[in-house]
Amino acid sequence: MGCIPSKVAENKSLDTHTVQNMTKLPSKGSQHRPHHEDFSFLASETPFSVSEVESLYELFKKLSASIVKDGFISKEELHFALFRNSNKRNLFVDRIFDLFDVNRNEHIDFGEFIRSLSVFHPRTPEAIKTRYAFKLYDLRHTGYIEREELKEMVLAILVESDLTLSDEVVETIVDKTFVEADSKEDGRIDLEEWKEYVEKNPSLLKNMTLPYLMDVTLAFPSFVLDAEKEESH
């Protein structure tokens, strides 16, 4: 079974309180560049450097205008930001969007964008990746992963990976996971059980890391060059 995504240090987790206390970032429809202090603040809250945050702002501007030019990233635009493919839509992407749309306003602003990408950064602690992966599987927000939820996410991951398995194989994967993870044998997996399961199966967090985020300036050189040209004029 594959997994999905998380953030920078235990005290740097993505939550509403943190976002509400951020330096004010551009409002809807605003075309103004965030202040340098905004970049510095976001860099201090994530594994990104100030220059990388500035470079990602150039990426953010392009992505937020790729469908509707409103200064925010929609669900479709987030799919491209995370997986470099805007054609596929599935439950996997919807869950990622829901997790990082902290304000629950159907779009992602620049602060949320940086924090959402930081979850997938190679230097983000596994403990945080584990916690956010759990939230992704907890579709009903009950604090538990139930069998049907796990099956839905397994199917979504298979679609995202362009893999096709028979219903029987999928059922076997789900059954095996519950046998190994549901140590309390109550028909559901809580966070502690999930943590123990991930510790034994670290490959579950593979899809929680995007290696190219280790060096944003190399991953997105065109955006960096565009930013330098703008600053030189």
pLDDT of residue 75: 84
Whether 146 has a pLDDT exceeding 60, the answer reads: yes
Q: Which residue has the higher pLDDT, 66 or 42?
A: 42
pLDDT of residue 177: 96
pLDDT of residue 137: 92
| Cα atoms in the 13 Å half-sphere on the side-chain side of 144 | 12
How far from 228 is each of 217, 224, 233, CA to CA, in Å?
A: 12, 6, 9
For the stretch 200-218, pLDDT in tens is 999 989 988 989 898 887 7
Whether 16 has a pLDDT exceeding 70, the answer reads: no
Average pLDDT over residues 156-172: 88
Mean pLDDT of the chain: 79
Neighbouring residues of 73: CB distance < 8 A, sequence distance ≥ 6: 60, 63, 64, 81, 107, 108, 113
Average pLDDT over residues 168-185: 96
For the stretch 70-108, pLDDT in tens is 899 888 887 776 666 555 566 777 888 888 788 888 898
Whether 41 has a pLDDT exceeding 80, the answer reads: yes
Q: Which residue has the higher pLDDT, 158 or 181?
A: 181
Residue 136 sits at the vertex; the CA angle it makes with 132 and 140, to the nearest 5 degrees, is 125
Q: Which residues face 146 on adjacent strands?
A: 188
Is residue 145 helix, strand or coil? strand
pLDDT of residue 225: 44
Whether 125 has a pLDDT exceeding 80, the answer reads: yes
